Amino acid sequence: IDGQLRRRPQPWWQARRDELLGLADGATPRYVYDLATVRARARALAAVAPVDRRYYAIKANPHADILRLLVDEGFGLECVSQGELEHVFATLPDLAPDRVLFTPSFAPIDEYAAAFAHGVTVTLDNIEALMRWPEVFRGRTLWLRVDLGRGEGHHAKVMTGGLASKFGLPVDRIDAFLAAARPLGVRISGLHAHLGSGVDTPEHWRSVCDELGGIAERIGSILTIDIGGGLPIPYRDEDEPFDLDAWSVGLAEVKAAYPGYLLAIEPGRYLVAEAGALLLTVTQVVEKSGIRRVGGDAGMNALMRPALYDAWHDVHNLSRLDDTGTAEFDVVGPICESSDVLGRRRLLPAATVPGDILLVADTGAYGHAMANTYNRRELPGETVLPAQGEPQ
């Protein structure tokens, strides 16, 4: 919008409008992914970060093309379920198991056994599992997920640390964990913490690294320190882009204080969020008691983030991209829930009518991955765009 502060560069989809309109025709709801953006984010991280091991948290977007690209870019993969593990090895049969992390939460014991059978690195975060299934864990080398006593992130529902959180072994129970592990011959070679998602302060990872470094010195057997994911992206024009340089400088300082360890990260959102857009077809435009609503052919079933976290995603009328948004609309879906709102009071062209294509931006992370079939609606489709300039 003219005159409005725009910190973000032009998004990739603006130059590809005609192509997107073509593939949306009769084929919405549909997520579209631009792999060049994924590659650019992967390389930006690799260029700055003093990090020895990068894992992509595939829960954000497990599309096979994205996994292949990120593995080619040198990333390992972080999985949280047996389903994710099987998907990874079906997609990439030659992937070395030591490039895969298994970081489940309250998983059934069979999934740990399956992960050991695959030979991947397994993370555990409680003593109870060790005590209950000694035969599965005996003689294994594990990573330990700790709870550093606080959560972080863009919404309370994505914080994964602190007393109220189900994740992680409290720091004051580490000695008890080691005491339970010793007679089983269980060795701890990694320390892991992930305190939340969409954390906008680069200092966060610096202090996580510092705290884990201190614990590692005490334990003695640690080789790798994994400081989690959680890197944010700018969802709104006024959001500052994440300061990768400040992040990297802070990490380098702490790493220098603990030179004996490999440093690992496991971002999801940062790599893929901006690479995805959700395309919808407008079904109805309705005014009721002064509020104009534009309805698309999918809502919270295709994209849960606004309903679940009050998350913001820009919405554009792709069919009328050159028209200034002059009219306020609530953007809603077809689901029988009042929370089925993708955006409130959004400026869209006043001429918006049924048949227009809407684009919901920055939905490459936790978009299709969290979509569901509520109300017996079909899952949205997915299309990976061919690299620009290349024939299809």
Residue recorded with tokens 């993969």: 77
Contact characters 158-197, ligand LLP, x per CB under 6 A: x-x---------------------------------x--x
Smallest separation, CB 224 to ligand LLP (Å): 14
| 3 state DSSP class of 97 | helix
Instruction: Select from 11-19, 108-116, 264-272, 381-389 the region that touches ligand LLP (CB under 6 A).
Output: 264-272
Q: Write each residue from 219 to 248 as x if it is in contact with ligand LLP (CB under 6 A), else as -, in one continuous string.
A: ---------xxxx-----------------
For the chain, where are the E strands, in sequence order? 30-33, 53-57, 76-79, 100-102, 121-124, 141-147, 169-170, 187-192, 224-226, 262-265, 276-288, 291-296, 315-317, 327-332, 341-348, 357-360, 381-384
CB of 235 to ligand LLP, least distance (A): 10
Q: How far apart are CA 49 and CA 244, in angstroms?
A: 8
**Buried residues in 70-105 as b, exposed as e (16+ CB within 10 A):** bbebebbbbbbbbebbebbbebbeebebebbbbbbe
Q: Which of 57, 191, 254, 315 binds ligand LLP (CB under 6 A)?
A: 57
* Bridge partner list, 291: 288
Q: Which residue has the tokens 């202090």?
A: 207
**Shortest separation between residue 391's beta carbon and ligand LLP, angstroms:** 34
Between residues 250 and 349, which has the closer beta carbon with respect to ligand LLP?
250
The C-alpha atoms of residue 180 and residue 71 are separated, in whole angstroms, by 36
H or E segment and range at residue 29: none
User: By CB under 6 A, is residue 281 in contact with ligand LLP?
Assistant: no
Start-to-end CA span in the chain (Å): 33
Binding test (CB under 6 A) with ligand LLP, winner from 62, 151, 198, 299: 198
Rounded to a whole number of angstroms, the minimum distance from the CB of residue 381 to ligand LLP is 20
Q: Which range touches ligand LLP (CB under 6 A), out of 28-36, 44-52, 268-276, 374-382?
A: 268-276
How far is 292 from 289, CA to CA, in rounded Å?
8
Which is nearer to ligand LLP, 207 or 283 (by Cβ)? 207
Using CB under 6 A as the criterion, what x/- string covers residues 301-340 for binding ligand LLP?
A: ----x---x-------------------------------
Nearer to ligand LLP, 77 or 254 (CB): 77
Q: Phi, psi (5° rounding) for residue 302? A: -85, -35
**CB nearer to ligand LLP: pick between 267 and 296:** 267
228 SS3 class: coil
Q: How far is the CB of 329 from ligand LLP (least distance, A)?
A: 23
Nearest distance, CB of residue 355 and ligand LLP, angstroms: 30
Q: Up-side HSE of residue 294: CA atoms within 13 Å toward CB?
A: 28
- Which of 29, 33, 32 minimizes the C-alpha distance to 299? 29
CA 327/CA 73 separation, integer angstroms: 43
From 269, 316, 346, 368, residue interacting with ligand LLP (rule: CB under 6 A): 269
For ligand LLP, the closer of residues 100 and 348 by Cβ is: 100
Judged by CB under 6 A, the chain residues 92 through 121 that form the site for ligand LLP are 103
Report, in Å, the least distance between residue 267 CB and ligand LLP: 4
- d(CA 263, CA 1) in angstroms, rounded, equals 42
Catalytic residues, by residue number, are: 336
Kindly tell me which of 132 and 157 has the beta carbon lying closer to ligand LLP.
157
Provide the binding-site residues for ligand LLP, judged by CB under 6 A. 57, 60, 78, 103, 158, 160, 194, 197-198, 228-231, 266-270, 305, 309, 365-366
